[in-house]
Structure 1
Amino acid sequence: MLRFFVTSALFCCWCLSLKAQNPTGTLVPPDKLVEDTTGKRDIIGILLKVTNIHFKKPPKVDGKRVYYSIIPLGSAIPGGGEALITSTNAAFLLGDQQNTFLSNVTFSPSTNLKGEWNIPFRSNIWSPGNKWNFSGDYRLTFYPQFTWGLGGNTAPSNKILVRYTYVRFYQNALRRIANKPFLFAGIGYNLDYHIHIRPDKDSINIAKFTGYNYGTGNHTNSFSSGITFNLLYDTRNNSLNPLPGWYYNAVLRVNPKILGSEDNWYSLYFDARKYISFDPNKWNVLAFWSYLWTTMGSNAPYLDLPAITWDANQRSGRGFYPSRYTGRTLWDFETEYRRSITRDELLGFVVFGSMNSVTEPHNSEFAYLHAAVGAGLRVKFNRHSGTNFAMDVAASKGYWALYFALGEAF
């Protein structure tokens, strides 16, 4: 039955995208892909009006305006406790809005002021005319994380806290394929370095607890270095708040010893998304997202194995504790309905649900399905870039959490 659900969900995402062969198949024609902001309000505009503060127009990059969104907020963190998070986003166009997608960079440092911190920087850059796409993900992190071991039937209370410093460097360069306006191919480099991996208590043996022998030695390091081969199909004009369209991304990662990896191992990541608009003049969208992430071979480091919430942007699995389920293969399916509440789109709401499953350690089968549901409020933070301030609450069996972010989860 679980195989049926997995296959059906992936097939649905695939079939939805095949109904239109070009951008005119969406409800937003190509010449209107950049949203008209007339008559719409956002937090920035309201604050400036109330305080009677006047700023110069946003700066320009190569003649194009840059729109900033910045907000400090508090949130729960992995391992327990609270953190202070400052999220900054800059969105800009490097080319004509008729044929160039919106680029953005995000910087969201956080700390709990107790020696634990996270410094992430992400970028998604579209060159003029969408000829090139450059994406990057760079992080320096020291936050402890619980782990429950492998498989989908681990007891909630049977967990250990693992500490390490994490360095990530991901960079991709994709070139548009001739005569295919939304199809891109390219290569990249991925580095994952987990430093001084150790349990919260030295009496605990991580390898024995997880039953996994790669990257689980107490007081050891884990280093993975690999080349990626990327295929991207993307008709979304704005990844911060996607309008009708679809998105496919396939990434094959090869981690050879010659590049510094401790052993040869491989992974495959396939991501499919579909966005359906019910009204071209309002924010009224139904979104679908499914991804399959698998490692090939049996020697991938434990902390590099597929785990819920550890997708490429760490936005999946709302309602689940980070890394709650880990396996050699992970499947996740999510759907979300998004709608404005006010005519000026200052306020909106979302409702969402998700399902995920990981393979079992002994038979590599999907045996358990886990579900979560949630809802959230949206406040338009910057109407020019379409950036929303997102406040979500989500829950799964035995766990719930609050989430704050700039931009949509997917």
Structure 2
Amino acid sequence: MYFIQKFLNPLRIVTTVFAILIIIGDKGYAQKEVVKPESIQPAAQIDIFDVLRKITKKPPKVVDTPKAGERNLSILPVIGYSPANGGIIGATASITKYLADPQTTRLTTALLNASVTSKEQVILSLRYDLYTPKNKWYISGDNRLLFFTQPTYGLGIYGLHSQPYSFSWNGISGTTKGDLSQPLKYNYLRLYETFLRKINDNHWYAGAGVMIDYNSKIQDESLKLDSPVHITSHYTYSKYYGFNTTSYGTNGISAQIMHDSRDNPVNPYKGYYFNAYYRVNPKFLGSSQSSSVLYYEYRTYVNVNKAIPQNLIAFWFWGINVISGHVPYLELPSITWDTYNRSGRGYIQGRFRGNNMFYAESEFRFRLTRNGLLGGVTFLDCTTASNPLPLTSQNLFNTIAPGGGFGLRIKMNKNDRTNITADYGIGHGFSGIYLNMREAF
């Protein structure tokens, strides 16, 4: 009971702050009877580089009308430490560009990350969303190469109340030393490439994709088959469904449909996004076993004040279901393994995993300064997952893991709305600081 109260007290605070901010946004900012002078003549927008120019007494950079071919580049150094990774050093770069007239073509974006650690880990990734002239084609990619170490915690939603309390930096690694933590070391290659064609003028696209997942040199560091015996979730699942315990892969093709009416993919103020695909992973394409997977995702953005577009409530839902066959353990749906590693704030990456998973999150975003330099967020999220193993069977929605928190936003590039994000998330037996570039969703 003491542990439950220990968790619920900070979560109640987060929930209360979230509710208060919504009330403020609804009643304080959104009044139609009184129009403040600042709404008629808004302050000039600035970013962190304008602040640096002012300090160095250089003239401010004027926000230009978006032009075809004009590139915006934002680079954020990554420096940190965690017990599992040691020292971390690297950089994240956000690149945006219009490939044609911005009046007829949506913004193309790319996010690159490269990090190395003192424990000889390497993290490389390239994620991008590309729109050809007049939005005729939408091409996206999620590509990663990891030489990685990370604990796993079994399948389904278990151990919420008995989990020893831990803290992490950016959700990558934590200090948990309890029985639930099962360290794994492995190499991971992901290559997802999607090609969608516009099918009408209402932002709908359809097409296909190629998806490759490959895990190799897997070392189950807490597995002990000799006395004293210690069997891990990865070993149990792999043996039960006939997977090699040291390497496996899932290679497939997908049929996909998408709708995207967001006004800006980097930091939306309005619109909604829907994406769904059905993925087939046959053995003849190199999969360890044949399987099929259904993925669906929805995001929407509701403005609470027309005069201040930054003040909004955003919603994010996604789910993944293994429809047929079996997927290797490390390639099962898991929190913070979405495209941009943003789900599950309040928990460590990979804390929840299952053959079926559903995730929901709501975030209130608000302006702190009139010039747009600073902003804030509060958020609530929940995760549920299933466990297919007979002895520990758990269905979707049997148990739900809640999380929440708050964060600060610093405008890094006013031209494309890129923010530096710093969030503090709280979950059952866990809390962490998450530093990133761009919004969570």
**Once the 2 structures are TM-superposed, how far is the Cα of residue 366 of structure 1 from its aligned partner?**
2.6
**Once the 2 structures are TM-superposed, how far is the Cα of residue 344 of structure 1 from its aligned partner?**
0.6
Q: Which residue in 2 is equivalent to 1:267?
A: 293
Say if 2:181 is the partner of 1:159.
yes
SS at match of 2:247: strand
Query: Is the Cα–Cα contact under 8 Å of residues 344 and 381 in structure 2 kept in the other structure?
Result: yes
Describe how 1:355-394 pairs up with structure 2 within 5 A.
355-361=382-388, 362=393, 364-394=395-425
Query: Is the Cα–Cα contact under 8 Å of residues 68 and 101 in structure 2 kept in the other structure?
Result: no
- TM-score, normalisation: structure 2: 0.79
Distance change >3 Å, CA 360–CA 78, structure 1 → 2 = farther
**Once the 2 structures are TM-superposed, how far is the Cα of residue 51 of structure 1 from its aligned partner?**
2.3
Q: C-alpha deviations, 1:44-85, integer Å up to 9, x for none?
A: 122133224689999xx9942101101113346694545224
SS at match of 2:330: helix
**Once the 2 structures are TM-superposed, how far is the Cα of residue 280 of structure 1 from its aligned partner?**
3.3
Give identity over the alignment, percent: 32
Counterpart CA distance in 1 for 2:234 and 2:198 is: 47
Q: Which consecutive aligned stretches of 4+ in structure 1 deviate over 6 angstroms post-superposition?
A: 54-58
Say if 2:253 is the partner of 1:253.
no
Say if 2:263 is the partner of 1:230.
no
Counterpart CA distance in 2 for 1:130 and 1:38 is: 33
**Structure of greater Rg:** 2
Aligned to 2:218, which of 182, 197, 200?
A: 197
Structure 2 gap segments, 5+ residues each: 1-40, 164-177, 225-229
Describe how 1:90-239 pairs up with structure 2 within 5 A.
90-154=95-159, 156=163, 157=178, 158-178=180-200, 180-201=201-222, 203=224, 205-206=231-232, 210-213=236-239, 214=241, 217-218=244-245, 220-239=246-265
Aligned-CA RMSD value: 2.7
Distance change >3 Å, CA 212–CA 88, structure 1 → 2 = same
Distance change >3 Å, CA 225–CA 78, structure 1 → 2 = farther
Say if 2:423 is the partner of 1:402.
no
Q: Which moved more, 1:340-349 or 1:359-368?
A: 359-368
Q: Which residue in 2 is equivalent to 1:332?
A: 359
**Once the 2 structures are TM-superposed, how far is the Cα of residue 163 of structure 1 from its aligned partner?**
0.7
Structure 1 gap segments, 5+ residues each: 1-35
Q: C-alpha deviations, 1:118-176, integer Å up to 9, x for none?
A: 00111111112211111011111012111111121245332210110011111001111
SS at match of 1:336: strand
Query: Is the Cα–Cα contact under 8 Å of residues 62 and 94 in structure 1 kept in the other structure?
Result: no
- TM-score, normalisation: structure 1: 0.84
Counterpart CA distance in 2 for 1:185 and 1:175 is: 5
Counterpart CA distance in 2 for 1:38 and 1:129 is: 33
Q: Which residue in 2 is equivalent to 1:4?
A: none
Query: Is the Cα–Cα contact under 8 Å of residues 78 and 115 in structure 2 kept in the other structure?
Result: no
**Once the 2 structures are TM-superposed, how far is the Cα of residue 307 of structure 1 from its aligned partner?**
1.1
**Once the 2 structures are TM-superposed, how far is the Cα of residue 394 of structure 1 from its aligned partner?**
0.3
Q: Which residue in 2 is equivalent to 1:5?
A: none
SS at match of 1:344: coil
Query: Is the Cα–Cα contact under 8 Å of residues 215 and 221 in structure 1 kept in the other structure?
Result: no
Q: Which residue in 2 is equivalent to 1:242?
A: 268
**Once the 2 structures are TM-superposed, how far is the Cα of residue 384 of structure 1 from its aligned partner?**
0.1
Distance change >3 Å, CA 377–CA 365, structure 1 → 2 = closer
SS at match of 1:84: strand
Describe how 1:257-296 pairs up with structure 2 within 5 A.
257-282=283-308, 283-296=310-323
One-letter amino acid of the structure 2 residue matched with residue 112 of structure 1: T
Q: C-alpha deviations, 1:320-348, integer Å up to 9, x for none?
A: 11111111100111000001111111001
Q: Which residue in 2 is equivalent to 1:18?
A: none
Distance change >3 Å, CA 56–CA 374, structure 1 → 2 = closer
Distance change >3 Å, CA 76–CA 356, structure 1 → 2 = farther
**Once the 2 structures are TM-superposed, how far is the Cα of residue 37 of structure 1 from its aligned partner?**
10
Query: Is the Cα–Cα contact under 8 Å of residues 308 and 323 in structure 1 kept in the other structure?
Result: yes
One-letter amino acid of the structure 1 residue matched with residue 130 of structure 2: I
Aligned to 2:79, which of 74, 88, 96?
A: 74
Give the count of matched residue pairs. Answer: 373
SS at match of 1:367: coil
Q: Which moved more, 1:311-320 or 1:323-332?
A: 311-320
One-letter amino acid of the structure 1 residue matched with residue 93 of structure 2: T
